[in-house]
Amino acid sequence: MIVFARPEFFFLIWYLLFGGMSIITLFVFWRFNFLKKIPNFYRACTSSTVVFVKGSMLVCSTVLAFLVYLGPSMQRTELVSVRQGMEIASVIDCSRSMLAPIGAGDFITSRHKVVVDAVDQLLSALPDDSKGVACFSGEMHLRSPLSTDYIRDVYSVLNKIRLPGFVERYGSGTNFSKAIQGCFALFQKDTQTKKVCIILSDGEQIGSAGALAREFREIEMSTKRERRSIDVDFYLVGVGDPTVPMLIPTRDKNGNHNGFLCCDEDGEMLETKPDLEYLKNIAAVFGGTYIHVWDGSDLLEELSDIIETERATIAEREEVVQHDISEWFFVPILFILFLWFLLPKRFSRPNSNGKKLKKSA
């Protein structure tokens, strides 16, 4: 069924149609009576029949164009999936290494900016889900409430995390057990809603094998303890080029670049690159899925895929859907105008001898 967005103006079509045709008829009648007084000039002019046909074509084109203005659409009933609402926690690594360039050909944009921008775009596009953000380094530093109101409750916290000065102030170390605790702290324990935690980091192994083993045990204990009360699906998303070491830029109090972070045990500038094996092992310890993104162009798509993968269809319902069909009217409008330009000044018809005679008005 065809419906219109502005049905209150539909009655004007009859005024356009009958009013236009009346004007064309009166004009042709007046023109015929006027020109027949000047026979030589009349024979050189376009015949009254052609004028009437061309006028009628213009009226029809105007009516069709007005129908486009009314907003035509095809209305039909379709089955629409009812998708499950979720609780989504995005936990961002705010260690100093996240200020290094993302790499993979981009040596200007920081990993931190790429991650924060992607999380911002992801969460702002999920109005019906409860979402929250947190940031961690050696400790958990900042956390928003879990809320469906992204602008009021989440965006302001994400804007604080966005500042490079925030990272320089709090970005000491990377403790994934704090990230796990931050995820569980965001979620509501008394709901059966699907819960997804996405941790974003450029994690790099620092310290001895003994220190690494202790870190793994701490992560495992934190996960087991919290999962007794909350069931969460974890994702660890690694960001950055894992093949090229990057220097970590520093900034002054005004946010201007003034050098690079110094120094390692040998007195060299500190360099950082994501350690894929380390991150995969971290994800395995807390039972999560590991995904790596080399540059910023694919991060938002990967995050959106995570959400769509986790979101379940809980039912189907019938819903009236409208599809715009304005383009259906453009083809006849263009066709009518094309014929309008092709019409001759006079129609002709053959006589009994096969010769064409000019049809008089």
Same domain for 164 and 120: yes
Residues linked to residue 132 through DSSP beta bridges, in sequence order: 89
* Same domain as 231, residue 303: yes
CATH at 181: 3.40.50.410
pLDDT digits (tens, 9 = 90+) for 171-188: 777 888 888 888 888 887
Q: Which of 25-34, 212-221, 239-248, 287-296 has the lowest mean pLDDT?
A: 212-221
Query: For the chain, what is the domain count?
Result: 2
Quote helix, strand, coil % in the chain, to nearest 5: 45, 25, 30
The confidence score (pLDDT) of residue 337 equals 87
Band of pLDDT at residue 90, cut at 50, 70 and 90: very high
Q: Which domain holds residue 32?
A: 2-76+321-358
Question: Nearest to residue 153, comparing CAs of 185, 180, 123?
Answer: 123
Residues 6, 106, single domain; the answer is: no
The answer on 210 and 98 residing in a single domain is yes
Residue 118, amino acid: A
**pLDDT exceeds cutoff 80 at 150:** yes
pLDDT of amino acid 132: 92
Residue written as token pair 């992801």 = 122
Residues 306 and 328 in one domain: no
Average of pLDDT values for 293-309? 89
Is residue 288's pLDDT more than 50?
yes
Higher pLDDT, 156 or 360: 156
Residue 171 has what pLDDT? 73
Question: Please, which residues have CB within 8 angstroms of residue 288's CB and are 6 or more apart in sequence?
Answer: 199, 233, 234, 235, 236
Name the helix (H) or strand (E) containing 289: strand 289-293
Establish if 316 belongs to a structural domain.
no
| Closest C-alpha among 109, 116, 74 to residue 94 | 116
Q: How confident is the model at residue 222 (pLDDT cuts 50, 70, 90)?
A: low
Q: Which helix (H) or strand (E) holds 293?
A: strand 289-293
pLDDT grade for 207, boundaries at 50, 70 and 90 = low
Mean pLDDT, residues 311-338 taken together: 80
